[in-house]
Amino acid sequence: MYELCVETTFCAAHAITIGGVREPNHGHNWHVTATIAGETLDSDGLLCDFHTVEAVLAEVVEPFRNNDLNTSAAFARVNPTAEHVARHIAGELASRLDASLAPHARVAAVRVTEAAGCAATFRPQPRR
């Protein structure tokens, strides 16, 4: 299995609800690591082009950059936890990259770190 990782960062605020209590709004320097995986390489010896993944990942996080996640359409009905942020980014990344990654690779995981030592990872189910 081959894996490659592409990383980006963005600054955004959020306030999550824990046990029915909403915490104060606060900011993070979010760090995102997207992992692309596959068992075979293309004819150029690549799993996929890093630059393609970088560009799409930048598009996915752009609406969050310097914004409040609680006001984002992506989290209108979902608590903007690190887990949900990771799941949202993974889903958007996969939907925008699937055609260019197939048949060699797929989005295997997205890890979101909201503070040093505090990370959440979402691993989408492999396509069948």
Give the angle 29-2-5 at the CA atoms, nearest 5°. Answer: 15
Q: Beta strand pairing status for 2-14 and 67-68?
A: parallel
Chain-wide mean pLDDT for the chain? 94
Kindly tell me if the per-residue pLDDT of 121 is higher than 90. Answer: yes
Q: Could you check whether the bond before residue 63 is cis, i.e. omega within 30 degrees of 0?
A: no
What is the rounded CA–CA span in Å between residue 88 and residue 63?
A: 12
Helices then strands, each counted (H, E), the chain: 2, 7
The whole-number pLDDT of residue 127 equals 65
Task: For helices 82-101 and 50-61, give the axis angle rounded to 10 degrees.
Answer: 140
End-to-end CA distance of the chain: 17
Q: What is the pLDDT of residues 33-75, one digit of tens each?
A: 999 999 999 889 999 999 999 999 999 999 999 999 999 999 9
Domains, the chain: 2-122 (3.30.479.10)
Kindly tell me if the per-residue pLDDT of 128 is higher than 70. Answer: no
The whole-number pLDDT of residue 100 equals 83
